Amino acid sequence: MRSILCGVGDIIDQELQLRRIGRKPQYQHKAHCRKLTKSPDKFDAKVLIERIYETVGRNWNGAREPSPKNWRLTKNCAKEDEGKNENRKKKLEVRLEREIVGINWPDGEDWFNQVPVASGLINDRSDKRRAIDLVHQRGDGSYEFI
């Protein structure tokens, strides 16, 4: 197995009743995104979430201990080469996240980006890019995931 999410795309496609129009997963195709702006026929979100949860549980069963690097709250700030022409259009979302955590604002120290959540769960190579884009640590001890 190569990912904690192995099989999840197929479940989403099945539960959303998406017909095959190209490469899997189907829910990533623009035509299906347009279709999904309307509610799918007989869609049960609870069933979808339960099936995903069961699949992830099976994938993780017997897997390794998670990396201590998961859920670390660090700031991954802007890099010097991000303004160069060849990098300007690449990874715009990540560049924006880096700028957000680099802003000096009243609770700026409580914002973090690219927080890893699944590194090392299956093996040394899989799921290294599974991360929460932005995390805000609130004053009451709770967190907002963005």
The pLDDT value recorded for residue 144 is 95
Judge whether 136 lies within some domain: yes
Task: Classify residue 74: in a domain, yes or no.
Answer: no
Dist CA 7 CA 81 (whole Å)? 37
**pLDDT value at residue 62:** 65
Quick one: pLDDT at residue 54?
Answer: 95
For residues 46 and 87, membership in a common domain is answered with: no
Whole-angstrom CA distances from 86 to 76, 90, 91, 94, 97 are: 20, 8, 11, 15, 19
Instruction: Convert the pLDDT of each residue in 69-89 to its tens digit.
Output: 888 998 887 666 555 555 556
46, 12: one domain: yes
In a domain, 138, yes or no: yes
In a domain, 113, yes or no: yes
CA-closest candidate to residue 60, choices 116, 129, 118, 13: 118
- Judge whether 93 lies within some domain: yes
pLDDT at 20: 76
CB count in 10 Å sphere of residue 102: 14
45 DSSP 8-state letter: H
Beta carbons of 92 and 99 less than 8 angstroms apart: no
- Residue 50: inside a domain: yes
pLDDT score of 14: 86
Same domain, 55 and 18: yes
Number of domains in the chain: 2
**Helix (H/G/I), strand (E/B), else coil: 134:** strand
pLDDT of residue 82: 56
Q: What is the pLDDT of residue 134?
A: 94
Q: Are residues 129 and 87 in the same domain?
A: yes
pTM of this prediction exceeds 0.85: no
* Low pLDDT (below 50) residues in the chain: none
Range of the domain at 19: 8-60
Residue 2 domain-assigned?
A: no
